[in-house]
Structure 1
Amino acid sequence: MVRLIDKVGKVAMLASALLLASCSQTPDRGAQRTDFNIGWSIYAGWMPWPYAQQAGIVKKWADKYGIKINVVQVNDYVESINQYTAGKFDGVTVTNMDALTIPAAGGKDSSAIIVGDYSNGNDGILLRGADQMRAIKGQQVYLVELSVSHYLLARGLETAGLKPTDVKAVNTSDADIVGAFGSPQAKAVVAWNPQLSVMKNQPGVAQVFSSAQIPGEILDLMVVDTATLKANPNLGKALTGIWYETVSLMQRQDAQGRAARAAMAKLAGSTPESFESQLSTTHLYTDPKAAVSATSNPALIKTMTQVRNFSFSKGLFKGASSADAVGIAFPGGKTLGDPQRVTLRFDESFMKLAADGKL
């Protein structure tokens, strides 16, 4: 995992300049509104969102609170986060690390209102022609740089006694990664489902490390702009209602549940069988009480400490002098980093409303 620090600096400065330019043209996020846009990209744990829109569940909950919610697909995952950061979306599906290193590190105050799941094997490292992690040494590794794939690679290298300098990262978008790994020179890749399952089934390919070996460290979230949420709490209530109604439906083992999962598979471009396999490696928090417990657990602070220290070590905090530069707030008033510069908040209040039957 090699990324030159001077290159990171130049990319970060360019991204910051573009962000400032784009944000200057966005409406006041603290205003009361009735129309909202939520971005999503294809991943097993996020497929409930487009299905909910297709099935009328989004409209049902939006109507309940007198608002309109547009659920918008973005084919490239990192681009969906960039568009959220620039103000095009009011919320976005994102992992804990990427919420920290892109919007939060860029100064955009964001609230994680739904901890939907953690990857329990949905992210993995694949090698062609080898079945041991140590064989990755000296390889070019195709992955989405500055994403959780970076983090997974680092954790995998640790288990094999290897250093980041033992491999060379090749930045590849999630939309292009399957094609890139199909080239003859590609021997190593880090990816998430559904792309991971497609590549894992290729001849001579073995999975040598996965998120199942670090359970709870790669979280999948619904993150909403904090100012928008404060001015429009009904958006948080509607999104939470949508989520729990949909995941409750998809857990059912009757014909309706199977039909919902088959529809999600189709939306993801997968077969029902492949999608069921992806769900088996996704630890969904279907019970809001479990999600509240996980969000309030001190283990989350430990996880985010690991994530932010890794992110800072890779220069992902855009010129910050320490990992404390980006503040992270947790339930109960606990804060990691600078309490005066909190830009990522784990807000369990909406999940608690769901747990208490008060939505």
Structure 2
Amino acid sequence: MRRRPLTRLLAVAACAALLGAVAGCGDGGDSEAAGSTTVRLGFSAWPGWFPWQVAQEKGLFAANGVEVELTWFDSYTDSLQALSTGNLDANSQTLNDTLTSVSGGAKQTVVLVNDNSTGNDQIIAAPGIADVAALRGKKVAVEQGTVDHYLLLLALEKAGLSEKDITLTPLLTDAAAAAFVAGQVDAVGAFAPFTTTALGRAGSRAVATSKDFPGAIPDHLAFDSGYLREHPEQVQKVVQTWFDTLEWIAANGAEAVAIMARRGGVSEADYRTYDAGTTIFTREQNIAAFTPGGDPTHLDFQADQIAEFLVRTELAPGKPSLDGLLEPKFVHAVT
């Protein structure tokens, strides 16, 4: 689940940056593992990342000549900490979280866009609340610093409101959804599968979703910058495997869904409902996203917007540097 207790994550990232391999902080980016060609890759419960399971089960990493130690994290936060402390070489995570880690001193580089959220992140309101404007004066539960907090602020701004116009109730996403179903709050910001939980409240509806803000919530593959520097050929093979996996999924849809649903712990029917809300990026869409530009479809623009959000909400001590954050050469080199 995409959870982010950011103060803890910032502390972990800073510790990794300052102390490297000192006991109690974990391995740094230039740790002993940086000498290994095995790629320690983490992922967790988000539909855009389940193709990694397909790659592993169908031998597609091996087909590209790369040895991958694929690790599933029940706790998304644990995967973020593992990358920041050098216990992973790469992780699938949101742009928000990569920038949070960078704010804390971690050295990470985005090499691939897995997907954009196009509906699976939602602001869900109680009966009688027809739109975002009607949230004025209402209690809204959301996990602070998450992409759904970011989505809430975007939606409020579009409606001519700000966070000061609502009563924000900070809760972890699962608890927020439960509080909404119990009638303790008037609205909730959540991501799939907790959107399904929240919509279980009779008469509730989504008044804003990530579909309304194209490009605002990109999910991607981030590498430890030290590992990338030492082993660019392994990074290239992992990126190549991702696109080979997408081809395999397109040709073997039923089997692919079975694999991904099993990994997600949901039925195949439930898994299929997530398709429209998560847009997996093609190579061409990746290249377009990595190309510098002045609107939300471009990663550099979105990274700048998110960096300002982190500072404005005091979830980062200062605006993180974007230098070296985005590296498109691996996507360009895919055959």
TM-score normalised by L of structure 2: 0.85
Measure the CA separation in 1 of the matches of 2:276 and 2:36: 38
Measure the CA separation in 1 of the matches of 2:11 and 2:182: 31
Measure the CA separation in 2 of the matches of 1:15 and 1:154: 27
Which residue does the alignment assign to 2:304?
305
- Amino acid of the residue matched to residue 258 of structure 2? A
Query: Aligned runs of 1:253-292 on 2, under 5 Å?
Result: 256-286=252-282, 288-292=283-287
- Amino acid of the residue matched to residue 271 of structure 1? S
Tell me how many residue pairs correspond in the alignment: 319
Which residue does the alignment assign to 1:50?
53
Which residue does the alignment assign to 1:347?
327
Range 261-270 or range 11-20, more displaced: 11-20
Q: Which of 92, 102, 105 matches 1:104? A: 102
SS class of match (1:327): coil
- Amino acid of the residue matched to residue 290 of structure 2? T
Within the alignment, does 1:60 sit opposite 2:63 as a pair? yes
Which residue does the alignment assign to 1:227?
226
Report the Cα offset of residue 188 of structure 1: 1.8
Say if 1:310 and 1:260 are closer, same or farther in 2 by CA, change over 3 A: same
Segments of structure 2 that go 5 or more residues without pairing to the other structure are: 1-5
Deviation per CA, 1:135-192, whole angstroms, max 9, x where unpaired? 3333333323222112101001112222212234444444555444433314321112
Identical-residue share of aligned pairs (%)? 24
Measure the CA separation in 2 of the matches of 1:122 and 1:116: 15
SS class of match (1:223): strand
SS class of match (1:81): helix
Measure the CA separation in 1 of the matches of 2:173 and 2:75: 6
Which residue does the alignment assign to 2:191?
192
- Amino acid of the residue matched to residue 257 of structure 1? G
Contact 1:39 1:72 in 2 (8 A): yes
Q: Which of 95, 112, 115 matches 2:113? A: 115
Query: Aligned runs of 1:114-263 on 2, under 5 Å?
Result: 114-129=112-127, 130-174=129-173, 176-252=175-251, 256-263=252-259
Deviation per CA, 1:313-351, whole angstroms, max 9, x where unpaired? 112222x3xx3xx221xxxxxxxxxxxxx3x52111111
Q: CA RMSD in A?
A: 2.5
Report the Cα offset of residue 213 of structure 1: 0.9
TM-score normalised by L of structure 1: 0.80
Say if 1:105 and 1:59 are closer, same or farther in 2 by CA, change over 3 A: same
Which residue does the alignment assign to 2:3?
none
Deviation per CA, 1:257-316, whole angstroms, max 9, x where unpaired? 122023212221223233222111222213x13311221141423222222222211122
Segments of structure 1 that go 5 or more residues without pairing to the other structure are: 1-7, 329-341
